[in-house]
Structure 1
Amino acid sequence: MSSSRPGNQLPFLLLATFRSLIDELHVRLAERGHPDLRPSHGFAIQMVSRGGSVSDLGRRLGVSKQAASKTVAGLEGLGYARRVASVTDQRQVEVQLTPRGVEALTLSGEILNELREECAAVVGEREMATVEDALARLGPHDATEQFLGWLGT
């Protein structure tokens, strides 16, 4: 069965849906006490939660160490992250989430679960599962880091 849509619409349909979900995520985060978070902060918070240095964060986000340092400074200013001396090497500085950062990450997961359920309510659980399964087969298994670097985040 062939679609009546031209192939060039697929990336835009995916992007529009992604954008809609992320925009709504941030509306709800703002309502729940995190009005200053932006999508780029969310990506960075996810990568900070994996542990490591500013350089590690830069590699994960696909940006320079200087850009990662600026991102960390922004997260520090908002109270989501902090730099601490490494427990294994005192010359090394690691980036950690603060309790506020952990809260934002946890809330993001909860809200994304809500949004997924709302999408399923629109198209039906069976179709939602079909879409998710198809997307999982079409994309790389753990492409989060590559995706973020591609975005230039």
Structure 2
Amino acid sequence: MSTERPGFALPLLLLAGFQRLVDALHEELAERGHPEARPMHGFALQAVGAGTTAAELGRRLGVTKQAAAKTIAALEAAGYVERGADPVDARRIVVRPTTRGRDLLARSAEIFDELRARWVGELGEDTVRTMEDALGRVTSGPRLDAPSWFTR
């Protein structure tokens, strides 16, 4: 009997780990004042940065300007971003994170640290660090356009 694992197991396990972490993140965010937060919100807020336009957000996320506008509308409805005139060019509308949006990102970072600590408690520091180091060697790091990648 072969102990070799099928090639498809690795991406499914990586996806399952990602889903487990993101689901746990959103459970915690809901308890800490952000029940409306969705996985796409984190990617979008990271891409908004200090401020951006809908067209630039679309490029950063790898989606159309129309999809970016829809994402902005959802973020705005949740209170995570606000729109305003560009101080350099009043014709341009710039999207900026609100205090609530910055709070979401800060709480997300704290919770991810807590979730990592849970994994360390379950698997050990050496195992978690080995996983992180190994993934760092074979990847180029995270991409903000990950949500659009699933729809290609």
TM-score tier (shorter) = over 0.9
Deviation at 1:104, TM superposition (A): 0.3
The residue aligned with 1:58 is 58
Task: Indicate how the Cα distance of structure 1 residues 65 and 109 shifts in structure 2: closer, same or farther if over 3 A, else same.
Answer: same
Report the Cα distance in structure 1 between the residues aligned to 2:145 and 2:95, rounded to whole angstroms: 20
Secondary structure class of the residue paired with 1:100: helix
Secondary structure class of the residue paired with 2:144: helix
Larger mean CA deviation between 35-44 and 106-115 belongs to 35-44
TM-score when normalising by structure 2: 0.92
- The amino acid of 1:51's aligned partner reads G
**Structure 2 residue 117 is matched with structure 1 residue 132:** no
Output one character per residue of 1:13-55: Cα deviation in whole Å (capped at 9) or x when no partner.
Answer: 0000000000000000000000011111121111112531111
Task: Indicate how the Cα distance of structure 1 residues 114 and 40 shifts in structure 2: closer, same or farther if over 3 A, else same.
Answer: same
Report the Cα distance in structure 2 between the residues aligned to 1:127 and 1:87, rounded to whole angstroms: 49
The residue aligned with 1:144 is 143
Secondary structure class of the residue paired with 2:67: helix
TM-score when normalising by structure 1: 0.92
Report the Cα distance in structure 2 between the residues aligned to 1:48 and 1:3, rounded to whole angstroms: 46
The residue aligned with 1:24 is 24
8 Å CA contact 1:47, 1:60 repeated in 2:
yes
Report the count of equivalent residues. Answer: 150
Report the Cα distance in structure 1 between the residues aligned to 2:50 and 2:131, rounded to whole angstroms: 28
8 Å CA contact 1:60, 1:149 repeated in 2:
no
Give % identity: 49
Deviation at 1:149, TM superposition (A): 3.2
* Aligned-CA RMSD value: 1.5
Unaligned runs of 5+ in 1: none
Unaligned runs of 5+ in 2: none
The residue aligned with 2:113 is 113
Report the Cα distance in structure 2 between the residues aligned to 1:34 and 1:93, rounded to whole angstroms: 26
8 Å CA contact 1:51, 1:95 repeated in 2:
yes
8 Å CA contact 2:43, 2:144 repeated in 1:
no
Report the Cα distance in structure 1 between the residues aligned to 2:47 and 2:80, rounded to whole angstroms: 12
Report the Cα distance in structure 2 between the residues aligned to 1:52 and 1:21, rounded to whole angstroms: 28
Output one character per residue of 1:92-146: Cα deviation in whole Å (capped at 9) or x when no partner.
Answer: 11110000000001000000011011111111101111100000011114x4134
